[in-house]
Amino acid sequence: MKTDPSIQELLKRFNLISDQVSKDEIKIILEQLQVIHDQKIEGAVVELGCYLGTTSLFISRYLKARSSTKQYHVYDSFAGLPEKDVSDQSVAGDQFKAGELKASKAAFITHFKKAGLPLPVIHKGWFSDLKESDLPPVIALAFLDGDFYDSIADSLRLVWPKLSRGAVVLVDDYQNEALPGAARAVNEWLRNHSYISLQTTKSLVIIKV
């Protein structure tokens, strides 16, 4: 696949607003957005775990560049990380504690206003408290950045029944030794659910269904 030139332009033109994601990872996410647009995959775009909105801003910019009519929904507690599960324990991840990576909904909105971008549909709450009805009925692409085992497991439970044929699920921190719960949640889920392909790149796993 040839990368859409607008992706390179966006990455060149705009800076990151946090250090929790790299431009290489954002490029991968945007390339998957390109895939669902080029293949006309039905459904909305959802992001579970948006923090300050670094990835969200780039997703919105690309949707705008493509004159996309897809709905875009973001979900976050806006209260920082939850408590760890035993599956999240790692010597390399001692810095990830409950309450870390806290960013307010107001700060998220401010970044969008400064960028002159339309706001996505914002949902505030812990993933464990969300219901299937809180998500759009059909999903074309889901980006899951919940960091911990329970958050990724809850995210998969929520998005999977909504995925259209040919949809893409990207999970961050799949190859991050500091956050082993993400990979454990994904691997357990996929043992009991069908999918077309799985690819790992950078810290991400890309699942096509």
| Domain 5-208: CATH superfamily, name plus number | Vaccinia Virus protein VP39 (3.40.50.150)
Mean per-residue pLDDT for 9-23?
A: 95
Q: What is the pLDDT of residue 70?
A: 98
SS (H, E, C) the chain: CCCCHHHHHHHHHCCCCCCCCCHHHHHHHHHHHHHHHHCCCCCEEEEECCCCCHHHHHHHHHHHHCCCCCCEEEEECCCCCCCCCHHHCCHHHCCCCCCCCCCCHHHHHHHHHHHCCCCCEEEECCHHHCCHHHCCCCEEEEEECCCCHHHHHHHHHHHHHHEEEEEEEEECCCCCCCCHHHHHHHHHHHCCCCCCEEEEECCEEEEEC
163-171 and 139-144: which strand pairing? Answer: parallel
Q: What is the pLDDT of residue 183?
A: 96
Is 86 a residue whose pLDDT tops 90? no
- Residue range 40-82, pLDDT digits in tens: 999 999 999 999 999 999 999 999 999 999 999 999 999 988 8
Q: What is the pLDDT of residue 36?
A: 97
Mean per-residue pLDDT for 133-143?
A: 98
- Residue range 164-175, pLDDT digits in tens: 999 999 999 999
Is 96 a residue whose pLDDT tops 80? no
In DSSP terms, 208 is beta-bridged to 168, 197
Q: What is the pLDDT of residue 192?
A: 95
Classify residue 157 by burial, with Cβ atoms within 10 Å: 0-12, 13-18, 19+: middle
Q: What is the pLDDT of residue 99?
A: 75
